[in-house]
Structure 1
Amino acid sequence: MMDSSPHKLYHVHGYDSRQHLEHYFSDKPDMVFGDDTLKFVIDNHRQVFAVGHINGDILIDLSLGSFVHHLHSACEFFKNIIVLKVNNRCIMELKRWVDERTGAFYWGHTSTLLQETEENSDQFQDQEAKLRSAIQHVVKYDLEKENMTDPLVLPPADCVISAFLLDVISKDQDDYIRYLRKFSRLLKPGGHLIIIGVLGATYFTVGKDKFHGFTCDEDFIRKAVVGEGFIIDYCNVKERTAVSDLTDYKSIIFIAAHKESRHVITSSVKLKKKI
């Protein structure tokens, strides 16, 4: 069946990953999404990791584009981060930063945001170096393969993070649940899942191209996560503040959950944000 959407699909058509970063994650004066895509993301990651329940050996990141700021807090608790990307352009952009090559995207502004949330900011002076060291592998994957990284077999992860990806690869609710299930299979029993997404979106723009956005609400995402056997420990939704026609999302959501298992004792994580 052919896709009826008038917009391109991120994982099918690809896009200019650098322009995406400039539009939505840069420190430029005209980048209006800072409160949503930068500060909200950093603040919520810091809060859930600070509790100390989310840690271990392996963290797998499946996120849109080539941004890294959502992993700053994670690298304090995981020394081995495996990043999965769906296309070569995003891989090249990310590796340029990891390898400190000339022309790499500037992320210093996100380290500053993280320092501002901490009483002792001295420990974050070398935050970028720590994150670079933690990103052990950047691997291409195929969403439609049973083993998405075939022929590589990844070790089971203690935590999987997916930021802004499910919203753009899913054409409908069935797609969202199918991909969520694939991602959750990467986890160990009792492992943790963090999802960041947007609500009420139909498109986002990179350069001259418009890309598909899956329209959903908080209730659907909560039910999808619980339906895949997770217990939600934390959920925060922020109404959009950015004024721009680059994208039409209404709000942004952050969810942290852990996988139910007969072999682990589960308990609700006590965080400031009520669920």
Structure 2
Amino acid sequence: MDSSPHKLYHVHGFDSRQFLEHYFSDKSDMAFGDDVLKFPIEKLRQVFAVGHINGDILIDLSIGSLIHHLYSASEFFKNIIVLKANNRCIMELKRWVDERTGAFYWGHTSTLLQEKEENSDQCQDQEAKVRSAIQHVVKYDLEKENMTDPLVLPPADCVISVWLLEVISKDQDDYIRYLRKISRLLKPGGHLMMIGALDITYYLVGKDKFQGFTYDENFVRKVLAGEGFIIDYCNVKERTAVSDLTDYKATIFIAAHKEK
């Protein structure tokens, strides 16, 4: 095994299918169900159910080729633009969007949403709603002033970022700089929803070991306030997964809005 902890998600890339199999599959030995499947689905459903977060455009910047965090969002936004750091993740996501042979199976996650809904008929075809809402899958480069150059994105009503900042940041300065870039995607008053892994130092994908930036709840609260965000909701879930694949201590969910 490569013992180096210094690989970075957006620089070195990883095997996107292996990542999904490790952390998001329906396999009986997949240890992370409560933390990475149920928790995001439940928290995003709760926040969107209030009804004041909606609009035309939602931008998603998340690790890998995830889709389960977009189930509730697809009910409230007409257009979802997904930004990905590397081609392998783009190909993996498009395989699912286009319903091609060999696409990753997400049916177990739509079932989790149905269990929370009083009217399960509303989410019988939740995956189809997400496919319909995803209008563009775009590659980004964090080192560019406009990360999607030459494409200029319209200002978003909402941005969702799932397990991203901790895997692209080497230190506090990186975290703040990248959060600032992400916040520029929002229109004034727009909403930001973030899910992160607290106190992580590494995660494994196959034989590759990737760096995680360690931070706590107080740090992210201070950074968001410093960037002009008001936190509307915050919840921390202590880790329940038993696995050596990664060492995070807890999962945090934050919903905030940008001051006008």
TMscore range, shorter length: over 0.9
Partners of 2:27 and 2:164 in 1: CA distance: 24
Q: SS of 2:41's equivalent? A: helix
Output aligned runs, 1:111-126, within 5 Å. Answer: 111-126=110-125
Instruction: Report what 2:100 is aligned to.
Output: 101
1:196 paired with 2:217, answer: no
CA shift for structure 1 position 226 = 1.1
Q: Determine if contact 2:5/2:202 at 8 Å carries over to the other structure.
A: no
Q: Give the TM-score normalised by the residue count of structure 1.
A: 0.93
Q: SS of 2:55's equivalent? A: coil
Q: Determine if contact 2:165/2:178 at 8 Å carries over to the other structure.
A: yes
Q: Determine if contact 2:40/2:69 at 8 Å carries over to the other structure.
A: yes
Instruction: Report what 2:145 is aligned to.
Output: 146
User: Which letter maps to 1:103?
Assistant: G
Partners of 1:93 and 1:78 in 2: CA distance: 23
Partners of 1:8 and 1:256 in 2: CA distance: 29
Deviation by residue 1:169-214 (Cα, 9 ceiling, x = unmatched): 0000110000000000000010000010000100000000100000
Instruction: Report what 1:15 is aligned to.
Output: 14
Partners of 2:107 and 2:88 in 1: CA distance: 22
1:175 paired with 2:185, answer: no
Instruction: Report what 1:229 is aligned to.
Output: 228
Output aligned runs, 1:1-275, within 5 Å. Answer: 6-261=5-260
CA shift for structure 1 position 224 = 0.7
Q: Determine if contact 2:203/2:247 at 8 Å carries over to the other structure.
A: yes
User: Which letter maps to 1:9?
Assistant: L
Deviation by residue 1:110-158 (Cα, 9 ceiling, x = unmatched): 1000000111111111111111000000000100000000000000000
Partners of 2:34 and 2:159 in 1: CA distance: 24
Partners of 1:176 and 1:37 in 2: CA distance: 21
CA shift for structure 1 position 6 = 3.5
User: Which letter maps to 1:77?
Assistant: F
Aligned pair count reads 257
Q: SS of 2:88's equivalent? A: helix
Deviation by residue 1:36-88 (Cα, 9 ceiling, x = unmatched): 00000100000000001110000000000001000000000001000000000
Q: SS of 2:101's equivalent? A: coil
Q: Determine if contact 2:85/2:139 at 8 Å carries over to the other structure.
A: yes
CA shift for structure 1 position 16 = 0.1
CA RMSD of the aligned region, Å?
Answer: 0.7
CA shift for structure 1 position 7 = 2.4
Unaligned runs of 5+ in 1: 262-275
Q: SS of 2:143's equivalent? A: coil
Partners of 1:137 and 1:245 in 2: CA distance: 35
Partners of 1:255 and 1:166 in 2: CA distance: 13
CA shift for structure 1 position 243 = 0.3
Q: SS of 1:190's equivalent? A: strand
Partners of 1:166 and 1:151 in 2: CA distance: 23
Q: Give the TM-score normalised by the residue count of structure 2.
A: 0.98
Q: After TM superposition, which residue ranges in structure 1, 4 or more long, deviate above 4 angstroms?
A: none
